[in-house]
Structure 1
Amino acid sequence: MLATLTDVIPIAPGWLYQVKHDGFRMQGHRTGQDARLYSRNGLVWTDQLPRIAAGLLSLPCCSCVLDGEAVVQLPNGRDDFHSLRSRSGAGRAVLMAFDLLELDGQDLRSWPLVERRAELAHLLASPIDGIAFVDAHDAYGPELFRHACAMGLEGIICKRKDAPNRSGPSPAWLKARCPDYRRP
């Protein structure tokens, strides 16, 4: 699912708020001992992001599809988008996983977001090198946005808790960009 750009952060029950990471949108697919990474456009990125591919093979499952953002993080917590394009930077990349689309042969896309995220949190309960769980907050969206902007981050993503995962843009996922954001 793709987020729709918004200037208005929803303040209502039923929404989750996450920091927006600045990297490449990726799906991580694992089937048995095969791991593949696909860009938003369907290009294969497995060889360019070996740490993430190895992390997929370390997950305690037989098969899964993770949705996330491949990022290289700086010591200050900001994402270094430009490092993803270099061989050394891509080798340090981590998949910031925010959704779980399939697990052990079961298609989860029709499940509500909160249920998919609960399964994802369980899957990532033990640390996995190359993959991190993206925290979400169910309150204080505008406050999280102010903090993200003050830290020089890209912005936040607002997601409906009850939303299934569908292809393409959706008003169930909203992206609020910090007006002064500049890539490091």
Structure 2
Amino acid sequence: MICRREGTQARLWSRNALNWTARLPRIAGGLLELSCGSCVLDGEAVIQLPDGRDDFHALRSKVGAEHAILMAFDLLELDGRDLRPLPLDERRAELRKLIETGTIDGVAFVEAMDDDGEALFRHACKLGFEGIISKRRDSPYRSGRSPHWLKSKCPGYVRHV
């Protein structure tokens, strides 16, 4: 999900260019709490289950969507400055500072893990997660599919709705 804040306006778009702003009011409100004039974040809108896992599919229900939070993992623009050419590590450092400047309801920073990717993937699948995303730490931002990132889905993933 791409989330844009410009002054007192927040807008959220799905990867299919659908406007989700009205369906995800908690995330839109959280963007307005960030200490900046404008920003563009990349992340996943999720519903957190009581056991700590995330349920992406519960977003389809209106009640579920109202409780969604943005798990932010990238910052593409900040106060008019295009961060996309910067390495992922630098963009994420700016994102961490932006989110950690206060208590932001509806937006959370996703920690990166530099562990053995195969072991992490097996563990994620064992815990019942949908999968993992792997990105090159030194890569600039590129929209769409790229050789710089990989989405690995767990075989047999079961939706929790």
TM-score of the superposed pair, with normalisation by structure 2:
0.94
Q: Which residue of 1 aligns with 2:154?
A: 178
Q: Looking at both structures, which has the greater relative contact order when contacts are Cα pairs under 8 Å and sequence separation is at least 6?
A: 1
Contact 2:45/2:56 (8 A) holds in 1: no
Matches within 5 A, 1:115-126: 115-125=90-100, 126=102
Q: Which residue of 2 aligns with 1:106?
A: 81
Percent pairwise identity:
66
Matches within 5 A, 1:1-184: 26-125=1-100, 126-184=102-160
SS of corresponding position for 2:159 = coil
> Which ranges of structure 1 fall in alignment gaps of 5 or more residues?
1-25
> Which ranges of structure 2 fall in alignment gaps of 5 or more residues?
none
TM-score of the superposed pair, with normalisation by structure 1:
0.83
SS of corresponding position for 1:169 = coil
Q: How many residues align?
A: 159
Which whole-Å CA distance do the structure 2 matches of 1:138 and 1:153 have between them?
A: 18
Q: Could you list the runs of 4 or more consecutive aligned residues of structure 1 that deviate by over 3 angstroms after TM superposition? A: none
Which whole-Å CA distance do the structure 2 matches of 1:115 and 1:81 have between them?
A: 27
Q: CA RMSD in A?
A: 1.1
